[in-house]
Amino acid sequence: MGTLILVRHSITAASAAGRNLGRRTDPPLAHAGVALAGRLGDALVAELSELPHDEVRLLTSPARRCRQTTEAIGAAVGVPAEAVEVEPGLLEIDYGAWDGLTADECRARDPELRAAWEADPYATRCPNGESGADVASRSATVFDPVESWLAEDRARCAIVVAHNHVNRLRLCALFRWPMREYRDRLSQDPGGYSLIGFGGATPVIRRVNAAPG
- By annotation, the residues acting in catalysis are 9, 92
Is residue 111 exposed (0-12), middle (13-18) or buried (19+ Cβ within 10 Å)? exposed
Is residue 119 exposed (0-12), middle (13-18) or buried (19+ Cβ within 10 Å)? exposed
Rounded to the nearest 5 degrees, what angle is found at the Cα of 61, between the Cα atoms of 98 and 144? Answer: 105
10 Å Cβ neighbour count for 54?
Answer: 9
Amino acid at 178: P
Cβ–Cβ under 8 Å, residues 87 and 174: no
d(CA 86, CA 175): 26
Among residues 87, 96, 46, the alpha carbon closest in space to that of 66 is found at 87
